[in-house]
């Protein structure tokens, strides 16, 4: 299932500061069905995020417990940053809203999000740390982790069998060996990996424990000259050599799922929903599609991955703070979080709920890498970096075209630093 959150990875370029105000229900406690009778809670959820049954079940549970009504308003990813920014500055914002995990820091920094430390204590003690990290800004909890997805290896089982490969690889070296064997024993392209597939590169840097930016006094600057970043790029380069994909394009130009769907590619590193693009291209490939976790340097630790996903937050200016928290307690309960993960094929916010993904091989392939995954730098300044032409992509292409990692880092650091210095 394609998750439309992927189109929204990034941070709002312009936010207005909003001041937290008092709540009409600060002293209310949800002691029964009449606690909030007559009130309506407004929830903004993004298009494609909420499965129908889950939405129906959560609404019924919320209204039964609180006596209030729940109003779902579906939003489009296109233009959501500015729309949410405006709404949070107004008198009646959405009370609860879905927010991209990479966007959370920007809204928290400008005062748009209510603190949720008490909610973390009551229901979030076992939230997966790698997922919750995006909700914690300057040591304070400003949102609740809802779900993530990450990339896996989608492979053509027929091509692998034709190459004489019987098992999926457990280490990075085994993966490289298998791909080379496909190249030697079949006429298929071993791996489709374009040169500017930067989300995968970010995953590799996360696996190396590298940071893309560093603090220099009171500002952030490029950290692409870090040897750990260079090591991640070297790994990327080893795999990209096995691909015929262009070095100056990303995975969406063309859509790699469509390339894979032609049946001439051994594997691609992709979001699970990209398999649907392959099947749409040629339905005959459906029976040959398999999934496995991206192997890391050792068998006990998968490759680093970028965690694309969403958090749930409460508007600082909402007059229904306690009612909003009651909704989050219900929606994020084990019962409904597990149901949400099962229906949506996404990673839930607790490892204990991953059993909900039984029978979904694509989702199961994502789970091992999730605890070690991460996201882009949790700073508002990062948003400008991703605007085209993305200097990280240019760094990658420069290395793949023969520059040393140090020289490539030097080539783009001026532009990267310029973007990191832009006023937010």
pLDDT of residue 32: 55
pLDDT of residue 7: 32
Cis before residue 389, ω within 30 degrees of 0? yes
User: What whole-number distance in Å separates Cα of residue 19 and Cα of residue 243?
Assistant: 51
pLDDT along the chain (424 residues), means of 10: 35 31 44 77 96 97 96 95 93 96 93 97 97 96 98 98 98 98 98 98 98 96 98 98 98 97 98 97 98 98 98 97 98 98 97 97 98 95 92 98 98 97 79
- Say if residues 210 and 183 touch (Cβ distance below 8 Å): no
pLDDT of residue 19: 33
User: What whole-number distance in Å separates Cα of residue 269 and Cα of residue 292?
Assistant: 10
Six token digits for residue 4:
């439309």
Q: Shortest CA distance to 277 belongs to which of 395, 154, 167?
A: 154
Model pTM above 0.75: yes
Q: Please report which residue ranges of 186-296 form alpha helices under DSSP H.
A: 198-207, 227-240, 256-261, 274-281
């Amino acid at each position: 299932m394609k998750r439309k959150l992927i189109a929204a990875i990034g941070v709002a370029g312009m936010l207005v500061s909003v001041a937290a105000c008092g709540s009409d229900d600060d002293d209310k406690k949800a002691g029964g069905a009449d606690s909030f009778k007559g009130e309506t809670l407004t929830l903004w959820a993004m298009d494609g995020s909420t499965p129908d049954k889950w939405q129906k079940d959560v609404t019924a549970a919320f209204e039964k417990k609180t006596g209030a009504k729940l109003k779902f308003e579906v939003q489009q990813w296109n233009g959501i940053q500015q729309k949410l920014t405006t709404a949070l500055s107004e008198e009646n914002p959405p009370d609860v809203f879905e927010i991209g995990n990479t966007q959370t820091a920007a809204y928290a920094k400008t005062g748009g999000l209510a603190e949720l430390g008490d909610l973390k204590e009551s229901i979030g003690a076992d939230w997966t740390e790698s997922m919750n990290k995006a909700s914690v800004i300057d040591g304070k909890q400003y949102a609740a982790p809802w779900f993530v997805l990450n990339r896996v290896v989608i492979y053509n089982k027929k091509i692998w069998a034709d190459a004489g490969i019987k098992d999926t690889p457990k280490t990075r070296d085994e993966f490289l060996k298998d791909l080379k064997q496909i190249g030697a024993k079949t006429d298929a392209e071993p791996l489709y990996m374009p040169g500017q597939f930067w989300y995968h590169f970010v995953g590799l840097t996360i696996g190396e424990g590298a940071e893309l930016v560093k603090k220099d006094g009171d500002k952030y600057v490029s950290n692409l000259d870090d040897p750990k970043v260079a090591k991640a790029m070297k790994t990327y380069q080893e795999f990209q050599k096995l691909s015929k994909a262009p070095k100056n394009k990303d995975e969406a130009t063309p859509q790699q799922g469509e390339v894979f769907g032609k049946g001439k590619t051994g594997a691609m590193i992709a979001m699970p929903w990209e398999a649907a693009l392959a099947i749409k291209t040629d339905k005959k490939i459906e029976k040959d599609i398999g999934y496995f976790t991206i192997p890391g340097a050792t068998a006990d630790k998968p490759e680093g991955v970028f965690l694309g996903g969403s958090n749930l937050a409460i508007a600082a200016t909402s007059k229904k703070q306690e009612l909003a928290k009651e909704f989050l307690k219900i929606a994020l309960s084990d019962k409904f979080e597990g149901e949400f993960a099962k229906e949506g094929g996404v990673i839930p916010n607790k490892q204990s709920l991953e059993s909900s993904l039984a029978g979904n091989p694509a989702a199961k392939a994502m789970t091992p890498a999730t605890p070690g995954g991460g996201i882009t730098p949790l700073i508002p300044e990062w948003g400008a970096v991703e605007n085209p032409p993305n200097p990280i992509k240019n760094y990658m292409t420069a290395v793949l075209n023969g520059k040393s990692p140090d020289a490539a880092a030097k080539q783009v650091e001026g532009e990267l630093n310029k973007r990191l210095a832009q006023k937010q």
